[in-house]
């Protein structure tokens, strides 16, 4: 994607980080909700060791499993696939095979939140809101320019947009580059917020001259991976 | 569906026209006609003979103040305030610490560099034919390109020169100019400024 110079106006906002947002609606929302609420009813949740007393709870083996593949969440995967392709189209990126390397459910009860962290080595990270009242703790993406705050201009824009609260509503899907640090605000309500989190990796060597060097998909869910292309 | 752009870098562009343009041009061309240009020795040793020339006073002083370029300084002040206003910042005293003219002849260019600790750097084009070497800013997020998404959005930004064009940007952004492949002697004015830090006062600061 090329940043084009726009001769109108004084301020040219360069090099924005593209953040994807979509919302499942109507029948699609209903079947995704039914699918994921069914998964939640079968999962056990626990707090990760060493994450602090106020950290949210996670489904079992959150980073070594994929609750979408494990529970055959076809409707959710179809919605996500459409969103991922839209994200790539916006970037003028050639669609390449991807794998949802892990997916888990997060449970955030009153007084809990997610500490600042990133999913560094993945390409895309994302969240889908299953049960929120809209006031139980927004996702906050941290400004990727924080290290430039010694410059007056960067510091100035950091003050007004350093941590941007993302929208919070049932059915919203958000995706962002995985290396962006993020956190959630404390849930100060009595609602138990449930959300789906996931990481995505692309097979960067397809298509093209290096096709023979392509990665092999070695996680469960390979069938869906192969059907996608 | 929507893809929103977060965390952009604001740069400022203004093209002077009409009477404002005429006043600035007259003031700056009078100064340029009094100056001598050469390849700054440190500059040339580091970057080779294809680098552009500077007025012989070089860096570390302000040619605008030395020649009392009051009109340009006044207009710069106006647009600096506009820059700050448009990014939601408050007015702050600043010091225009360095300013110099650059002469770029055929085959010459400005190597990629940055102005590090200065808050805002800028350029004003005095004499360009519009094709004598685009200005470019390197994407400050290029170091994030190991991520698939960032890899798609790390292009540099190119801006063509134009007489009367003022550009302002955060001084830490690496930038340069493409080779002047025309016979035109491009003349531009460059400058660096710094805003007041807490705990200090400037004796001769501009006040925005």
- Chain B interface disruption, residue of A1, A2, A3, most B CBs within 10 A: A3
Q: Where are the domains of chain A?
A: 20-213
Which of A89, A126, A139, A152 has the highest number of chain B CBs within 10 A, making it the mutation to test binding with B?
A152
**Order of strands across the sheet that contains B135-137:** B110-113, B175-177, B135-137, B157-159
CB proximity A5 to B under 8 Å: yes
pLDDT of residue A218 exceeding 60, the answer is: no
| CB spacing of B5 vs A93 below 8 angstroms | no
Q: Which of A144, A178, A204 sits opposite B141 (nearest CB)?
A: A144
Query: DSSP letters of A73-124?
Result: -HHHHHHHHHHHHHHHHHTTPPP--EEEEEEEEEEE-TT-B--SB--TTSSE
Dist. CA A173–CA B168, nearest whole Å? 37
The interface residues of chain A toward chain B in range 70-89, judged by CB-CB distance below 8 A, are: 83, 86-87
- CA–CA dist A163, A178 (Å, integer): 16
The CATH superfamily label for domain A20-213 reads q2cbj1_9rhob like domain (2.60.120.620)
Q: Which pLDDT does position B180 carry in this prediction? A: 97
**Residue A123 near chain B (CB below 8 Å):** yes
User: Cis omega (within 30 of 0) on the bond before B8?
Assistant: no
Residue A220 has pLDDT above 90, yes or no: no
pLDDT digits (tens, 9 = 90+) for A73-95: 999 999 999 999 999 999 988 77
Tell me how crowded residue B99 is: count the other CB atoms within 10 A of its CB: 26
Record the tokens describing residue A37, joined without a space.
Answer: 């609420």
A:B CB pairs within 8 Å: 161
**pLDDT reported for residue B206:** 62
Rounded average pLDDT over A192-208: 80
Residues in chain B with CB shorter than 8 Å from the CB of A148 are: 140, 170, 172
pLDDT at A205: 55
Which distant-in-sequence residues (6+ apart) come within 8 Å of A69 by Cβ?
Answer: A77, A100, A103, A219, A220, A221, A224
| Pick from B140, B147, B158: CB nearest A177 | B147
Helices assigned H by DSSP within chain B: 18-32, 41-47, 63-66, 70-86, 148-151
CA B27/CA B67 separation, integer angstroms: 9
Give the pLDDT of residue A187.
Answer: 96
Measuring CA to CA, which residue among B190, B188, B164 is closest to residue B108? B188
Q: Would you state the pLDDT for residue A2?
A: 46
Return the exposure string of A121-137: e unless at least 16 CB atoms fall within 10 Å of the residue's CB, then b: ebbbbbbbbbbbeeebb
A207: confidence class by pLDDT, cuts 50, 70, 90: very low
B31-to-A13, A197, B78 alpha-carbon distances in Å:
33, 62, 22
pLDDT truncated to tens, each residue of chain B (208 aa)? 788 888 889 999 999 999 999 999 999 999 999 999 988 766 667 777 788 989 988 888 999 999 999 999 999 999 999 999 998 888 889 999 999 999 999 999 999 999 988 999 999 999 999 999 999 999 999 988 889 899 888 888 999 999 999 999 999 999 999 999 999 999 999 999 999 888 877 765 565 4
- The alpha carbon of residue A53 is apart from the nearest alpha carbon of chain B, in Å, by 31
Residue B44 is predicted with a pLDDT of: 65
Q: What is the CA radius of gyration of chain A?
A: 19
Cα B70 to Cα A23, B44, B127, B193: the distances in Å are: 55, 31, 20, 16
CA angle A51, A52, A58 (to 5 degrees): 50
> Is there a contact between B194 and B118 (Cβ–Cβ < 8 Å)?
yes
Contact A11 B11 (CB under 8 A): yes
pLDDT higher than threshold 70 for residue A162: no
How far, in whole angstroms, is CA B193 from its chain's centroid?
10
Rounded Cα gap, residues A63 and A121, in angstroms: 13
ipTM: 0.85
pLDDT at B51: 86
Residue A213 has what pLDDT? 44
Q: pLDDT-based confidence at A1, cuts 50/70/90?
A: very low
Position B20 scores a pLDDT of 96
Q: What is the pLDDT of residue A8?
A: 54
Instruction: Give the list of residues 6+ apart from residue A194 with CB closer than 8 angstroms, or none.
Output: A36, A40, A105, A106, A107, A108, A130, A131, A132
The residue ranges of DSSP E strands in B52-131, in sequence order, are: 53-55, 94-104, 110-113, 120-127
Burial class (CB in 10 A: 0-12, 13-18, 19+), A21: middle
pLDDT at position B155 is: 85
Task: Give the contacts of B106 (CB within 8 A, at least 6 positions apart).
Answer: B180, B181, B182, B183, B184
Phi, psi for A156 (deg, rounded to 5): -65, -45
**φ and ψ at residue B115, rounded to 5 degrees:** -115, 30
pLDDT digits (tens, 9 = 90+) for A100-153: 888 999 999 999 999 888 888 899 999 999 999 999 999 999 888 888 888 999
In this complex, do B3 and A3 lie within 8 Å of one another by their Cβ atoms? Answer: no
List pLDDT tens digits, range B20-33: 999 999 999 999 99
Inform me whether the pLDDT recorded for A224 exceeds 60.
no
Decide if A90 touches B, using CB distance below 8 A. yes
Asked if B120's CB is within 8 angstroms of A18's CB, the reply is: no
- pLDDT confidence of residue B204: 59
Joined tokens for residue A114: 């997610």
Select from A16, A83, A91 the Cβ nearest to the Cβ of B152. A91
Residue A120, pLDDT score = 81
Interval A152-162 mean pLDDT: 74
pLDDT reading at A41 higher than 80? yes
Q: Provide the β-strand partners of residue B150.
A: none
- The answer to whether A172 touches A25, Cβ cutoff 8 Å, is no
């Amino acid at each position: 994607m090329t940043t084009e110079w726009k001769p109108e106006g004084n301020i040219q906002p360069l090099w924005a980080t593209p953040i994807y947002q979509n919302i499942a609606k109507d029948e699609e929302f209903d079947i995704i909700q039914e699918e994921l609420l069914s998964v939640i009813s079968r999962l056990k949740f626990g707090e990760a060791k060493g994450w602090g007393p106020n950290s949210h709870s996670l489904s079992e083996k959150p980073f070594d499993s994929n609750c979408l593949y494990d529970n055959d969440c076809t409707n959710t995967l179809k919605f996500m696939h459409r969103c991922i392709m839209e994200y790539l189209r916006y970037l003028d990126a050639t669609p390449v095979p991807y794998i949802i390397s892990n997916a888990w459910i997060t449970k955030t009860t009153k007084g809990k939140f997610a500490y600042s962290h990133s999913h560094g080595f993945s390409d895309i990270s994302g969240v889908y809101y299953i049960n929120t009242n809209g006031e139980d703790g927004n996702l906050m993406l941290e400004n990727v320019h924080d290290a430039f705050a010694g410059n007056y201009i960067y510091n100035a824009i950091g003050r007004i947009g350093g941590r941007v609260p993302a929208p919070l509503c049932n059915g919203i899907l958000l995706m962002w580059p995985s290396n962006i640090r993020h956190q959630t605000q404390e849930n100060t309500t009595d609602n138990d917020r449930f959300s789906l989190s996931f990481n995505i990796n692309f097979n960067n060597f397809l298509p093209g001259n290096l096709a023979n060097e392509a990665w092999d998909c070695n996680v469960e869910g390979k069938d869906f991976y192969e059907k996608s292309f | 569906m929507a893809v929103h752009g977060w965390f952009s870098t604001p740069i400022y562009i203004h093209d002077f026209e009409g009477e404002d343009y005429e006043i600035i041009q007259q003031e700056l061309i009078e100064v340029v006609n009094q100056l001598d240009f050469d390849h700054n020795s440190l500059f040339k040793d580091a970057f080779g003979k294809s680098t552009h020339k500077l007025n012989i006073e070089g860096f570390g002083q302000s040619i605008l103040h030395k020649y009392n370029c009051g009109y340009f300084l006044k207009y710069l002040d106006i647009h600096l305030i506009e820059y700050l206003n448009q990014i939601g910042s408050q007015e702050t005293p600043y010091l225009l610490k360095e300013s110099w003219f650059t002469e770029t002849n055929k085959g010459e260019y400005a190597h990629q560099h940055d102005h590090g600790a200065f808050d805002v750097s800028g350029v004003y084009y005095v004499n360009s034919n519009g094709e004598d070497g685009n200005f470019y800013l390197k994407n400050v997020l290029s170091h994030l390109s190991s991520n698939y998404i960032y890899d798609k959005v790390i292009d540099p930004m190119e801006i063509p020169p134009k007489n009367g064009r003022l550009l302002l940007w955060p001084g830490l952004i690496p930038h340069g100019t493409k080779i002047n492949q025309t016979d035109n002697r491009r003349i531009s004015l460059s400058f660096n400024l710094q805003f007041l830090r807490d705990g200090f006062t400037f004796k001769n600061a501009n006040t925005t």
